[in-house]
Amino acid sequence: MAVCFQSQLKPTTFFPSSTNTSPKTSSVLSFQFRCNFSLPTLAVTEPEPVLLSVESFAPATIANLGPGFDFMGCAVEGLGDYVSVTVDPSVHPGQISISDISGALPSVSKLSKNPLWNCAGISALAVMKMLNIRSVGLSLSLRKGLPLGSGLGSSAASAAAAAVAVNELFGSKLSAEELVLAGLESESKVSGYHADNIAPAIMGGFVLIRSYDPLELMRLRLPEKTNLHFVLVSPEFEAPTKKMRAALPAEIGMSHHVWNCSQAGALVASILEGDLVGMGKAMSNDKIVEPTRVPLIPGMESVKKAAIEAGAFGCTISGAGPTAVAVTDSEERGKEIGERMVEAFFKEGNLKAVAMVKALDRVGARAVAKVPR
Amino acid sequence: MAVCFQSQLKPTTFFPSSTNTSPKTSSVLSFQFRCNFSLPTLAVTEPEPVLLSVESFAPATIANLGPGFDFMGCAVEGLGDYVSVTVDPSVHPGQISISDISGALPSVSKLSKNPLWNCAGISALAVMKMLNIRSVGLSLSLRKGLPLGSGLGSSAASAAAAAVAVNELFGSKLSAEELVLAGLESESKVSGYHADNIAPAIMGGFVLIRSYDPLELMRLRLPEKTNLHFVLVSPEFEAPTKKMRAALPAEIGMSHHVWNCSQAGALVASILEGDLVGMGKAMSNDKIVEPTRVPLIPGMESVKKAAIEAGAFGCTISGAGPTAVAVTDSEERGKEIGERMVEAFFKEGNLKAVAMVKALDRVGARAVAKVPR
């Protein structure tokens, strides 16, 4: 069933506090900032923390899905970021400190420990602001499982995990869509005010963003028994979101508009019916965005062709790329498809790539460990 | 469940036979033409008629539904056209003769009895061509229940009824989507190669046109118990399809494209979930086509406003207009909404209008009477 979330909250611009230079008191190098966003404060009375510490996980996400450009996304199982938040008396009340950032991938070193320049930090602070937290300071550690700039919603995963962790710490006062609003504060800093990664990262499954003002999200439920597998192939190539966005056409001809709209409708219907062939076909059928971005990712055209020839139901670019995503109905077939796609990236794009076969994450961001007070 | 019909048939252009001046032999003034389209002939051996005569009905249809512009439509119960086809030895084999056109509305007199210039005739001939009918001549009579140029799929209803009647007469050899192809021969003459009226007129319910080459149609099943009612308000005003189409923008900005795509997705999801509030909202949310057409129909902006104020879940233009369509969940409420809309057409547009409250037709074109041989 499609469930519609609606909020009357109006998204607002992020305004960092002018008091963001307060000295840190933790033993670990970090930055602390008062949460002073212009987000609405939803808690009338400041809630107490119900736990000492929460560790949360948020999944990778695939935005766009072809014709769902800028309004659809879904979450991917077994791949994502972890965030721990802990009540820390050494952190100034109402502030947050990023104590640690870890992860196997070298790109992790690029991440700032300044909470105002870190996706997890911005999102955590936004939740603190919405909860009206003024009496408790938190320390946060981030463990990246996702590479940066891969088109798999790396920033959204960090933001989603942080939002859920802080919310859980204070007794889960905020709804999923309020957490999406908090995560959007972070996303707007990184790639623009788009919820097609952050919404599925928090809510799981497939999500359609129906409007931003007010924020309205539709969960599109894939039938339980559908054997959906995504083949995700990430090449060693940087496809900056800004560059990929600059490639988009400013104006679209009516016939292409009608075509993409019809494919978006077919995509939604296929998801709700669990029709993987229809879903793959719709994902493959974007005539507006994908054609402008494919030439910017070496080998992508051949990768898509290789995926289809190997039996994938469809293939497109995940988010702004460079990861390619194909759809199939078995893990084994997915592995074969992935091998052909990796070969094509190497042969036609001269790029090394890694393939993964992943199922849909239906849960979204969640606490994975809790330490009582 | 969404059912997908797919054909490998390539739509082709309509080419009338050069032998279309053969003398009529019927006692009723009519024209006869050999069926000689370039449509594919699907029957290897020519089928025999299994009946002497068939009367069929095809429903009115609402195309576009707001953001479903040019690729979505649905059928409306209790409103439509009737066609009778009869094996007639006085008609030259392989030809068709329109014996009679009737209907309460004065616009019926505008219709041609030349089968090549009549929607029912073109469609009937297309089915004869596809069935390879060379040995039997048919006479056809058309009873119009729909006004012309109202935005309720008048031409499609005639074409759909004729296609189904001829197909039934020869043992129902053709599938629904093959009949849509036949009907498209007619639609392409009247308003362009668009299936958003003819497909639901033949198939009933909601239909999404996924592609034309090959023709792929998705039936979007509204859950059985959904209490959907359309309020159809037709003013005394001519809104020629060509003029309404000329008003469309040639180019669309990316943000509007994304918006309409997301509303199309929301419309599809709402239909499949039986969410009438969501459906109405999506129908009301077209930012591309409706804004260019509303100013061409006097009072339409106020009519929409009146519908929403009276409790309709949404309101837009049906097809290319001038009929306004609103959505509600009870007949009684529908009548009240209709009264407010009629008032608004009169007050703000200085137009007389009539209102009807109609349910969804889930069946589509069908035989209603059969005479055995």
Of B71, B268, B275, the CB nearest to A268: B268
Confirm whether B202 is domain-assigned. yes
The pLDDT of residue B134 is 95
- Is A191 in the same domain as A238? no
Report the C-alpha gap between B191 and B156 in whole angstroms.
10
Q: Which residue of B has its CA nearest to A6?
A: B278
- Is B115 in the same domain as B216? yes
pLDDT bracket for residue A147 (50, 70, 90):
confident
Cis upstream peptide for A322 (omega within 30°): yes
Number of domains in chain A: 2
- Is B199 in the same domain as B210? yes
Report the C-alpha gap between B213 and B8 in whole angstroms.
8
**What are the pLDDT digits (tens) for B119-131?**
999 999 999 999 9
- Is A200 in the same domain as A59? yes
Is B177 a known active-site residue? Answer: no
Mean per-residue pLDDT, A256-272: 98
- From the candidates B260, B262, B285, B293, which should be mutated to test the interface with A, based on the most A CB atoms within 10 A? B262
pLDDT over threshold 90, residue B191: no
CA angle A218, A222, A223 (to 5 degrees): 130
The pLDDT of residue A241 is 75
Q: Which of A306, A151, A301 is nearest to A232 (CA)?
A: A151
pLDDT over threshold 90, residue B44: no
CA-CA-CA-CA dihedral for A106, A109, A110, A115, to nearest 10: 140
- Is A61 in the same domain as A202? yes
Mean per-residue pLDDT, B104-121: 88
pTM above 0.80? Answer: yes
Report the Cα A246 to chain-centroid distance in Å: 21
Residues 6+ apart with CB under 8 A from B97: B24, B26, B28, B30, B31, B32, B88, B91, B115, B137, B138, B139, B140
- Is B70 in the same domain as B206? yes
Which residues on adjacent β-strands are paired with residue B371? B53
Mean per-residue pLDDT, A319-324: 95
The secondary structure of A86-139 as a DSSP string is EE-TTSPTTEEEEEEEEESSGGGGG--SSGGGSHHHHHHHHHHHHHT--S--EE
Measured between alpha carbons, how far is residue B46 from residues A352, B20, B51, B233, B254 in Å? 60, 21, 15, 45, 52
pLDDT over threshold 60, residue B344: yes
Report the C-alpha gap between A187 and A197 in whole angstroms.
9
**What are the pLDDT digits (tens) for B255-292?**
999 999 999 999 999 999 999 999 999 999 999 999 99
**What are the pLDDT digits (tens) for A79-118?**
999 999 999 999 999 999 999 999 977 778 889 999 999 9
- Is A188 in the same domain as A235? no
Of A2, A208, A273, the CB nearest to B2: A273
Rg (CA), chain A: 20
pLDDT over threshold 80, residue B193: yes
Partner-chain contact A4 B210, CB within 8 Å: no
- Is B190 in the same domain as B154? yes
- Name chain B contacts of A278, Cβ cutoff 8 Å: 2, 4, 218
| CATH code, domain with B61 | 3.30.230.10
In what helix (H) or strand (E) does residue B335 lie, and over which residues does it extend?
A: helix B331-349
Residues 6+ apart with CB under 8 A from B317: B64, B151, B290, B293, B294, B297, B300, B323, B324, B325
Confirm whether A191 is domain-assigned. yes
Instruction: Output A61 or B35, whichever has higher pLDDT.
Output: A61
pLDDT over threshold 50, residue A33: no
Specify the 3-state DSSP secondary structure of B165: helix
- Is B233 in the same domain as B216? no
pLDDT over threshold 50, residue B33: no
pLDDT bracket for residue A148 (50, 70, 90):
confident
**What are the pLDDT digits (tens) for A332-369?**
999 999 999 999 999 999 999 999 999 999 999 999 99
The pLDDT of residue A11 is 37
Task: Show the tokens assigned to A320.
Answer: 């702004």
Partner-chain contact B252 A250, CB within 8 Å: no
| CATH code, domain with A249 | 3.30.70.890
Confirm whether B127 is domain-assigned. yes
Numbered residues of chain B with Cβ closer than 8 Å to any chain A Cβ:
1-2, 4, 67-72, 208-211, 218, 220, 248-254, 257-258, 260-270, 272-273, 275, 278, 288
**What are the pLDDT digits (tens) for A185-208?**
999 988 788 999 999 999 999 999
Confirm whether A9 is domain-assigned. no
Write down the number of H helices and E strands in chain A: 10, 14
pLDDT bracket for residue B189 (50, 70, 90):
confident
Rounded to the nearest integer, the mean pLDDT of chain B is: 89
Contact A324, A317 (CB under 8 A): yes
Measured between alpha carbons, how far is residue B256 from residues A62, A198, A257, B261, B293 in Å? 22, 22, 10, 8, 16
**What are the pLDDT digits (tens) for B73-99?**
999 999 999 999 999 999 999 999 999
**What are the pLDDT digits (tens) for A111-128?**
999 999 999 999 999 999
Confirm whether A28 is domain-assigned. no
Instruction: Output B189 or B221, whichever has higher pLDDT.
Output: B221
Catalytic-role residue among B177, B178, B185, B187? B187
User: How close does chain A come to B68, measured CA to CA in Å?
Assistant: 7
pLDDT bracket for residue B240 (50, 70, 90):
confident
Phi, psi of B207 (to 5 degrees): -130, 135
Confirm whether A2 is domain-assigned. no
Confirm whether B187 is domain-assigned. yes
Phi, psi of A69 (to 5 degrees): -50, 120
- Is A292 in the same domain as A247? yes
Numbered residues of chain A with Cβ closer than 8 Å to any chain B Cβ:
1-2, 4, 67-72, 208-211, 218, 220, 248-254, 257-258, 260-270, 272-273, 275, 278, 288
Confirm whether A195 is domain-assigned. yes
pLDDT over threshold 80, residue B175: yes
Catalytic-role residue among B41, B241, B339, B343? B241
- Is B68 in the same domain as B193? yes
Q: Which residue segment(s) compose the domain that B83 sits in?
A: 51-220+362-372
| ipTM value for the complex | 0.89
- Is A272 in the same domain as A336? yes
Rg (CA), chain B: 20
Is A187 a known active-site residue? Answer: yes
Q: How many CB atoms lie within 10 A of CB A47?
A: 18
CA-CA-CA-CA dihedral for B74, B77, B80, B82, to nearest 10: 120
pLDDT over threshold 80, residue B48: yes
Percent of chain B with pLDDT over 70: 89
